Amino acid sequence: QVQLVESGGDLVQPGGSLRLSCAASGSIFSIKTVAWYRQAPGKQRELVATITSSGSTNYVDSVKGRFTVSRDNAKNTVYLQMNSLNAEDTAVYLCNAEVVITGFPEYTYSYWGQGTQVTVSS
């Protein structure tokens, strides 16, 4: 019913920037909180940033001041602008969205995208 598709991952040099997108499609009535996670090889999945439906944001300490999460509700898309990237940012980045489905306003469903690879290396 709902699909999330991340894009924008790439190989970038240390100090570089990338902008990731998380686009939702399907029978969407509204999207509540959207979260960006990342998972590096051999490490647990880590919550990186969240943005609520009203635009309030939170970040893990390691990305504060470097990453910015934003959303375009008209496009059902959330972005993660990543600046001053370093090797420790290398991971698969995934988005998770809390979605109210059209016709089922009393329920909120959680959806995941498939992830996009970010590699920071010289």
**Where residue 88 falls among pLDDT bands split at 50, 70, 90?**
very high
Q: What is the pLDDT, as a whole number, of residue 20?
A: 98
Lowest mean pLDDT segment, chosen from 35-39, 47-51, 99-103: 99-103
Residue appearing with tokens 């059209």: 102
Q: Per-residue pLDDT for 60 more than 90?
A: yes
Q: Per-residue pLDDT for 11 more than 90?
A: yes
Q: Per-residue pLDDT for 105 more than 90?
A: no
Q: What is the pLDDT, as a whole number, of residue 104?
A: 86
Q: Per-residue pLDDT for 63 more than 90?
A: yes
Q: What is the pLDDT, as a whole number, of residue 1?
A: 85
Among 1, 25, 9, residue whose Cα is nearest residue 94: 9
Burial degree of 42 (CB within 10 A; 0-12, 13-18, 19+): exposed
Long-range contacts of 14-17 (CB under 8 A, 24+ apart): 14/85, 14/86, 14/87, 14/120, 14/121, 14/122, 15/84, 15/85, 15/86, 16/85, 16/120, 17/81, 17/82, 17/83, 17/84, 17/85
Across 12-40, average pLDDT: 97
Largest interatomic CA distance in the chain? 49
Q: Please tell me what DSSP assigns to residue 96.
A: E
Q: Per-residue pLDDT for 29 more than 90?
A: yes
